[in-house]
């Protein structure tokens, strides 16, 4: 036997027997492209779907095999390379790994059957960069709030701006974070799956864009115009009896543009995330807050608080500009072959209505708070706003994993792989819960120090710090509920079918917020409003957790509840340690810095003692990172 340096697999393929008659034999003859396709398919059949041993699973259990060549006879890898465009550090998800990568679970990570799926290298990088850019946007958001608090304090001007701020705040929830993503990420995921299947002469993604984007743009333009005209009525509804109606109306009209720009931003973000591109969507809030800060600093001496409202409009335009080039590279408004009356899949009224009502109900909690706080002394709305913005930072960061994996869940549901979707959702819930509970412990333990470091300067005095810190601690009781609602709504809507259960659960939670807030505001003021918010959102989270198994992804509720319960105990221990240690350190900055070390240490050690798998996973990652760095 002669020595052959090639791998055994390569020698075996070289001497493969002739193609069997039947389906592949029809590709023989003078058609060279057909011969290439047949040979490629035979290699897959001999080597198994992962390039190793033949796949002996029943046909209905095997993943759908993608042909290795296109209809034109070109290698599919070359076709994919031609489609691929650079976008930050993230490539498109790789094809199934072969060789040594297959033995390790693939380049993007994988999990064996029956084991929880790891994030994988691609998803881990996407989640890390998304979290980093989101954190940068949140830091700029705090700088924005610091700038407004420093210039305008917590008085009538800042309250007028915050009434107008309700418009972009609600628009961002509906058009960027919730409704638009919940509708369009599954729609684009299904379209991409059909594009990869290669069974159509038209481009499903182009058809979807052509059928939806022009109509959406026209609808949002009309909505922004109506808001511009009806701003006085909107202000009267949001804050009846407010002291400076004219100022609030001017600010509301300036922020009305965000209805259009946020809608376009949300559309672009959903399309890019479905394509595996997360860098540009994660950058939008960096651009947005930078625009607000720059405009406020440049024009506040001339326009007063109206400069901040103008900055909202300018920042929203920057959000569109950040994503437009990447969106244009991946999509087109014209399908490859024009077809009359192209219909957008998964976007019918039956699917649209429950998603929109769910998102509106979720954001309506803020409207209830502003409505109940309007008759309170000046500054109440500002105290609620600053407390909420800081307290929700852990929740926002905790949902980054769910944001990145949402297209994965949607694709698994589209392919009918509910078990993979279930394992992905269960792991996401646990990891998001661990993140938000760790953040909750830090927020509760060091609330006065956090607010003093961030806001106590200029017109924002020590009394404002004390009030805001107390409200923030009350808000923190509902952070786990906010996190679970954000994580659980995604699997409900990932299948692209109409489901009213999330909207119903949100309606129940909103009713709890309204009733509890109306009862508590007279006695407890802003603290009662914050407590009502926590009670309402926690009710919704409990209903969604219990209802997901029978209506969407059949998660193991007891298992997930047990994991979150152990993490809650660890968070309670970390909170107690923070409350005891915070007064013992020097100034607020030194105390907060010490808390950023103490709180995670107590949380992880307690969770490790309770055998919470998330703590073991995080400690393992930290250990491997330290070993890698050294």
Cα(435)–Cα(135) distance, rounded to whole angstroms?
13
Q: Which range (153-157, 342-346, 477-481, 597-601) has the least confidence?
A: 342-346
| Radius of gyration from C-alpha coordinates of the chain | 27
pLDDT of amino acid 259? 94
- pTM for the model stands at 0.65
Residue 181 has a pLDDT of 78
Residues 213-233 have a mean pLDDT of 93
More reliable by pLDDT, 486 or 117 = 486
- Which two three-digit tokens encode residue 549? 């198994």
What whole-number distance in Å separates Cα of residue 493 and Cα of residue 490? 5
9/594 Cα distance (integer angstroms): 57
pLDDT computed for residue 107 by the predictor = 38
pLDDT given at position 257: 94
pLDDT winner (highest mean) among 95-99, 227-231, 269-273, 545-549: 227-231
pLDDT at 437 over 50: yes
Position 335 scores a pLDDT of 46
pLDDT of residue 586: 79
Residues 6 or more apart whose CB falls under 8 angstroms from that of 625 comprise none
Write down the pLDDT at residue 250: 93
What pLDDT is recorded for position 299?
92
DSSP string for 538-598: HHHHHHHHHHHHHHSS---HHHHHHHHHHHHHHHHHHHHHHHHHGGGSSSHHHHHHHHHHH
Is the pLDDT at 97 greater than 70? The verdict is no
pLDDT the model gives residue 323:
93
Q: Which helix (H) or strand (E) holds 619?
A: helix 613-629
Residue 28 sits at the vertex; the CA angle it makes with 51 and 62, to the nearest 5 degrees, is 30
Q: What separation, in Å, do the N-terminal and C-terminal C-alpha atoms of the chain show?
A: 46
* Contact between 502 and 544 (Cβ < 8 Å): yes
- The CA-atom distances, in angstroms, between 233 and each of 222, 310, 411, 467 are 17, 20, 43, 31
Q: 104: pLDDT confidence band, cut at 50, 70 and 90? A: very low
CA gap 344, 190 in Å, rounded: 11
Does the pLDDT value for residue 421 go beyond 90? no
Cα–Cα distance for residue pair 227/235, rounded to 1 Å: 11
Q: pLDDT for 380-399, tens place per residue? A: 888 888 888 888 888 887 87
**For the segment 277-302, what is each residue's pLDDT rounded down to a tens digit?**
888 888 999 999 999 999 999 999 89
Residue 211's pLDDT band (cuts 50, 70, 90):
confident
**Which structure tokens are listed for 608?**
């490790």
pLDDT exceeds 50 at position 318: yes
- Selected residue with higher pLDDT from 353 and 250: 250
pLDDT category of residue 514 using cuts at 50, 70 and 90: very high
pLDDT at site 189: 76
Tokens 């960027």, located at residue: 176
Neighbours of 284 (CB within 10 A): 27
pLDDT score recorded for residue 198: 66
Please state, for a pLDDT cut of 90, what percent of the chain lies above it: 31
pLDDT digits (tens, 9 = 90+) for 161-207: 988 998 998 888 788 877 777 778 877 877 777 777 665 567 777 78
Count of Cβ atoms closer than 10 Å to residue 27 Cβ: 17
Q: Which residue has the higher pLDDT, 43 or 517?
A: 517
Give the mean model confidence (pLDDT) for residues 359-382: 84
214: left (phi over 0), alpha (psi -120 to 50) or beta: alpha
Q: Is the pLDDT of residue 45 over 70?
A: no
Return the structure tokens found at 70: 């296109």
- For the stretch 127-171, pLDDT in tens is 777 778 888 888 898 899 888 888 888 778 888 898 899 899 888
Is the pLDDT at 545 greater than 80? The verdict is yes
Higher pLDDT, 35 or 581: 581
Taking each continuous run of H as one helix and of E as one strand, the counts in the chain are 26, 0
Q: Which of 119-128, 414-423, 575-584 has the highest mean pLDDT?
A: 575-584
CB 181 within 8 A of CB 400: no
pLDDT value at residue 349: 59
Mean of per-residue pLDDT scores for the chain: 76
Cα separation, 529 vs 527, whole angstroms: 5
Q: What confidence score (pLDDT) does residue 276 get?
A: 79
Per-residue pLDDT, averaged over 78-107, amounts to 39
Higher per-residue pLDDT: 139 or 68: 139
Query: How many angstroms separate the CA atoms of 366 and 23, rounded?
Result: 61
Tokens standing for 406? 């949402």
Give mean pLDDT, residues 605-611.
Answer: 89
pLDDT at residue 516, rounded to an integer: 94
> Where is pLDDT greater, at 506 or 115?
506
Residue 325 tokens read as: 């080039």
Task: Give pLDDT tens digits for 593-605.
Answer: 999 999 999 999 9
Predicted confidence band of residue 462 (pLDDT cuts 50, 70, 90): confident
Using the 8-state DSSP alphabet, how is residue 173 labeled? I
C-alpha 295/C-alpha 288 separation (Å) is 11
Q: How far is CA 257 from CA 154, 165, 291, 364, in A?
A: 25, 12, 14, 20
Backbone φ and ψ for 89, nearest 5 degrees, come out as -85, 0
Please name the residue that has the structure tokens 């600053």. Answer: 386
């Amino acid at each position: 036997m002669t020595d052959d340096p090639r791998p055994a697999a390569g020698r075996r393929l070289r001497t493969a027997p002739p193609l069997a008659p039947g389906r592949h034999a029809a590709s023989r003859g003078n058609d060279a492209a057909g011969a290439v396709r047949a040979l490629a398919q035979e290699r897959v059949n001999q080597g198994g779907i992962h390039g190793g041993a033949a796949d002996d699973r029943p046909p209905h259990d095997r993943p759908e095999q993608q042909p290795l060549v296109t209809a034109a006879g070109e290698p599919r890898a070359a076709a994919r390379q031609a489609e691929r465009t650079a976008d930050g550090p993230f490539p498109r998800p790789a094809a199934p790994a072969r060789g040594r990568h297959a033995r390790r679970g693939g380049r993007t990570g994988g999990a064996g059957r029956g084991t929880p799926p790891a994030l994988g290298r691609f998803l881990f990088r996407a989640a890390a960069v998304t979290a980093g850019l989101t954190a940068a946007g949140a830091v700029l958001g705090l700088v924005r709030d610091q700038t407004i608090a420093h210039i305008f304090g917590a008085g009538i001007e800042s309250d007028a701006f915050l009434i107008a701020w309700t418009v972009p705040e609600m628009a961002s929830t509906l058009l960027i974070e919730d409704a638009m993503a919940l509708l369009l990420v599954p729609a684009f995921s299904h379209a991409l799956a059909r594009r990869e299947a290669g069974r159509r002469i038209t481009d499903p993604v182009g058809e979807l864009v052509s059928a939806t984007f022009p109509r959406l743009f026209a609808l949002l333009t009309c909505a922004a115009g109506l808001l511009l005209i009806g701003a006085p009525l909107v202000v009267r509804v949001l804050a009846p009896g407010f002291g400076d109606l004219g100022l609030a109306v001017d600010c509301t009209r300036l922020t009305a543009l965000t209805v259009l720009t946020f809608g376009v931003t949300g559309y672009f973000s959903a399309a890019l995330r479905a394509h595996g591109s997360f860098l540009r969507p994660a950058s939008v809030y960096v651009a947005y807050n930078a625009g607000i800060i720059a405009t406020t600093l440049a024009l506040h001496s001339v326009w007063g608080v109206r400069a901040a409202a103008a900055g909202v409009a300018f920042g929203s335009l920057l959000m569109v500009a950040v994503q437009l080039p990447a969106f244009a590279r991946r999509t087109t408004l014209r399908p490859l072959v024009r077809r009359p009356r192209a219909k957008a899949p998964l976007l019918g009224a039956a699917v649209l209505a429950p998603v929109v009502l769910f998102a509106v109900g979720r954001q309506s909690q803020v409207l209830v708070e502003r409505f109940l706080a309007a008759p309170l002394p000046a500054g109440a709305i500002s105290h609620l706003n600053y407390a909420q913005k800081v307290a929700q930072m852990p929740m926002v960061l905790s949902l980054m994993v769910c944001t990145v994996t949402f297209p994965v869940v949607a694709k698994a549901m589209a392919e009918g792989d509910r078990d993979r979707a279930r394992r992905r959702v269960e792991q996401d819930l646990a990891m998001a819960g661990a993140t938000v509970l760790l953040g909750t412990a830090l927020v509760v333990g060091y609330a006065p120090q956090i607010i003093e470091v961030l806001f106590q300067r200029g017109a924002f005095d020590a009394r404002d710090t004390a009030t805001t810190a107390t409200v923030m601690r009350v808000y923190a009781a509902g952070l786990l509920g906010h996190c679970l609602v954000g994580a659980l709504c995604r699997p409900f809507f990932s299948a692209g079918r109409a489901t009213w259960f999330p909207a119903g659960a949100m309606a129940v939670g909103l009713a709890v917020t309204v009733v509890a807030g109306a009862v508590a505001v007279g006695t407890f003021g802003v603290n009662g409003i914050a407590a009502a918010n926590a009670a309402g959102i926690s009710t919704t989270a409990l209903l969604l957790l219990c209802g997901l198994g029978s209506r969407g992804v059949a998660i193991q509720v007891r298992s997930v509840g047990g994991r979150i319960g152990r993490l809650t105990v660890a968070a309670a221990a970390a909170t107690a340690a923070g409350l005891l240690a915070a007064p013992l350190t020097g100034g607020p900055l030194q105390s907060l810095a010490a808390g950023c070390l103490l709180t995670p240490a107590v949380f992880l050690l307690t969770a490790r003692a309770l055998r919470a798998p998330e703590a073991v996973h995080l400690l393992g990652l930290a250990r491997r990172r330290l070993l890698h760095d050294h």
